[in-house]
């Protein structure tokens, strides 16, 4: 098996940080957004590009005319992007087991992407898939959920589904088909 491009610690240290410390690891660039929204949008620096310095991952938010609102959106998107792109190389530990049982069980309700735990759930699913060499049934078994539940969790989010297929590609497996 070839060496993975992912760092050893994975996304968890960043995803478990409080908002203030996480924002402290980021660089924010404000700029004027183009497009619809009237003169105010084209004259104010309301669009935000957030870059997480330790990982180099960058996202933008420019929907709102409020810089503050765009910064909040960018931070939420940045956490999700880190969860989708950063895998944990080391074996799972006790903290991971608690996260798994809380967010991925068959009895857990469907999680809203705006929930602060959503990026942690995404990272957990993808890390398990990575440790199972891309095999859905093995990852689901390790999580203690059914393969059907695993498929539903992955298919509920287009970006998560794409990230799962990227993990499967690392192990030369066919991509999942979205239905």
* pLDDT tens-digit readout, 10-65: 888 899 899 999 999 999 999 987 766 655 555 788 899 999 999 999 999 998 88
pLDDT computed for residue 3 by the predictor = 39
**Would the pLDDT of 118 be above 60?**
yes
HSE, CB side, 13 Å, CA atoms: give it for residue 132.
Answer: 20
Give the residue with greater pLDDT, 98 vs 81.
81
For the ranges 38-42, 109-113, 140-144, the lowest mean pLDDT is seen at 38-42
For residue 13, the model assigns a pLDDT of: 87
Q: How confident is the prediction for the chain on average, in pLDDT? A: 84
**Token pair for 69:** 């609102």
What is the three-class DSSP state of 51?
A: strand
Could you state, in order of their start, the residue ranges of all structural domains in the chain? 12-85, 94-170
Model confidence pLDDT, tens digit, residues 150-179: 898 899 999 999 999 999 999 999 999 876
What's the rounded Cα separation, in Å, for the pair 39 and 47? 14
Three-state DSSP state, 162: helix
Q: What is the pLDDT of residue 5?
A: 41
pLDDT at 39: 59
What whole-number distance in Å separates Cα of residue 43 and Cα of residue 23?
26
Q: What is the mean pLDDT of residues 144-154?
A: 88
Comparing 94 with 169, the larger pLDDT belongs to 169
CATH number of 12-85: 3.30.160.20
What sign does the dihedral 140-146-151-156 (CA atoms) show?
Answer: negative
Quick one: pLDDT at residue 53?
Answer: 95
Alpha-carbon distance of 51 to 47, in angstroms, equals: 13
Alpha carbons 176 and 72: distance in angstroms, whole number: 32
Confidence grade of residue 4 (pLDDT, cut at 50, 70, 90): very low
Q: Which two tokens stand for residue 93?
A: 């530990």
Residues 34, 62: Cα–Cα separation, whole Å: 9
């Amino acid at each position: 098996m070839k060496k993975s491009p992912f760092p050893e610690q994975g996304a968890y240290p960043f995803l478990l940080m409080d908002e203030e410390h996480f924002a402290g690891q980021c660089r924010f660039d404000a700029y004027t957004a183009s497009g619809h929204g009237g003169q105010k949008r084209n004259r104010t620096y309301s669009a935000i590009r957030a870059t997480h310095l330790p990982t180099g991952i960058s996202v933008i938010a420019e929907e709102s005319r409020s810089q503050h609102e765009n910064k909040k959106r960018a931070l939420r998107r940045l956490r999700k992007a880190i969860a989708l792109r950063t895998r944990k190389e080391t074996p799972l530990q006790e903290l991971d087991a608690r996260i798994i049982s809380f967010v991925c069980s068959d009895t857990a309700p469907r999680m809203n992407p705006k929930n602060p735990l959503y990026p942690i759930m995404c990272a957990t699913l993808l890390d398990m898939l990575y440790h199972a060499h891309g095999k859905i049934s093995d990852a689901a078994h390790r999580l203690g959920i059914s393969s059907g539940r695993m498929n539903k969790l992955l298919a509920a989010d287009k970006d998560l589904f794409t990230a799962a297929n990227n993990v499967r590609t690392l192990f030369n497996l066919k991509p999942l088909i979205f239905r």
